[in-house]
Structure 1
Amino acid sequence: MTSLVAWIDRNQVPITRNFLMALYGADFVGSKLNWPRLHRTCSRFLHLLYAMEKEHGKTVYDIGYHDAYYVAYWVVLLVFMRAILMQHVFNPIAKHIVVIKSRKARVRFAEQSWSALYYTLSFGLGLYLYYHSPYYYNIENIFVGWPHDRMTGLFKKYYLISTAFWLQQVVVLHIEQRRKDHLQMLSHHFITCALVIGSYYYYFNRIGNLILIIMDSVDIFLSSAKILKYSRFPNACDAMFVVFAVTWIILRHGVYNYLFYISWFKSGQLMAASKCGVSAFVHKRCWSDRILNAFLALLGGLQLLSLLWLWMILRVVAKFIRGDNAEDVRSDENDTDVETTSSALNGAGATSSLLSETSVPAVETKD
Structure 2
Amino acid sequence: MLSRLSEWFWNERLWFPGDLGWADLENRDGLTYAKATDLWATLPIALAFLIIRQIFERTVAIRLATALGVKEKVRVQAAYNPTLESYFSITTKNPTQSEIVSLGKKTGYSERQIHRWFKRRRNEERPNQLKKFKEASWRFTFYLLAFIAGLAALIDKPWLYKMEEMWNGFPVLTLLPSQYWYYMIELGFYIALLFSVASDVKRKDFKEQIVHHVATILLISFSWCVNYIRAGTLIMLVHDSADYLLESAKMFNYAGWRKMCNYIFIVFAVIFIITRLIILPFWILHCTWVYPVTVYPPFFGYYFFNGLLFVLQCLHIFWAVLILRMAIKFLPGNNIVEDERSDREETDSEDEEEGEKDGRAPTKNGPVLNGYSPLNNNHHRKTE
Contact 2:330 2:336 in 1 (8 A): yes
The residue that corresponds to 1:98 in the other structure is 68
Distance apart, 1:116 and its partner CA:
1.1
Contact 2:325 2:340 in 1 (8 A): no
The residue that corresponds to 2:226 in the other structure is 202
CA distance in 1, matches of 2:311, 2:332: 32
What is the root-mean-square deviation of aligned Cα atoms in Å? 2.4
The residue that corresponds to 1:76 in the other structure is 47
Aligned residue type for 2:54: A
CA distance in 2, matches of 1:331, 1:296: 28
User: Residues 194, 69 of structure 1: CA spacing in aligned structure 2 closer, same or farther, 3 A cutoff?
Assistant: closer
Contact 1:70 1:160 in 2 (8 A): yes
2:294 counterpart of 1:269: yes
- Amino-acid identity (%): 25
1:206-251 deviation line (CA, Å, top 9, x unaligned): 1111111111111011011111111211011111111011001111
User: Residues 223, 148 of structure 1: CA spacing in aligned structure 2 closer, same or farther, 3 A cutoff?
Assistant: farther
**What 5-or-longer segments of structure 1 have no aligned partner?**
1-49, 55-59, 276-287, 347-367
The correspondence for 1:303, drawn from 297, 300, 313, is 313
CA distance in 1, matches of 2:193, 2:274: 25
Larger radius of gyration: 2
Contact 2:345 2:381 in 1 (8 A): yes
The residue that corresponds to 1:282 in the other structure is none
The correspondence for 1:241, drawn from 265, 284, 287, is 265
2:193 counterpart of 1:152: no
Contact 1:135 1:142 in 2 (8 A): yes
Q: How many residues align?
A: 273
User: Residues 135, 322 of structure 1: CA spacing in aligned structure 2 closer, same or farther, 3 A cutoff?
Assistant: same
| Runs of 4+ residues deviating >4 angstroms | 50-54, 328-331, 334-340
Distance apart, 1:146 and its partner CA:
0.6
**What 5-or-longer segments of structure 2 have no aligned partner?**
1-25, 74-127, 348-378
Distance apart, 1:334 and its partner CA:
7.0
CA distance in 2, matches of 1:65, 1:261: 26
Distance apart, 1:178 and its partner CA:
4.5
1:61 is paired with a residue whose SS is coil
Contact 2:33 2:175 in 1 (8 A): yes
* Counterpart mapping for 1:1-367 below 5 A: 54=30, 61-95=32-66, 97-102=67-72, 104-176=128-200, 178-257=202-281, 258-270=283-295, 272=296, 288-327=298-337, 332-333=342-343, 340-342=381-383
Aligned residue type for 2:266: V
User: Residues 252, 222 of structure 1: CA spacing in aligned structure 2 closer, same or farther, 3 A cutoff?
Assistant: same
CA distance in 1, matches of 2:231, 2:291: 13
User: Residues 261, 341 of structure 1: CA spacing in aligned structure 2 closer, same or farther, 3 A cutoff?
Assistant: farther
1:322-364 deviation line (CA, Å, top 9, x unaligned): 441133676722755895533xxx5xxxxxxxxxxxxxxxxxx
User: Residues 329, 80 of structure 1: CA spacing in aligned structure 2 closer, same or farther, 3 A cutoff?
Assistant: closer
Distance apart, 1:108 and its partner CA:
1.6
Distance apart, 1:85 and its partner CA:
0.8
Contact 1:105 1:339 in 2 (8 A): no
Aligned residue type for 1:94: A
CA distance in 2, matches of 1:228, 1:250: 23
Contact 1:123 1:213 in 2 (8 A): yes
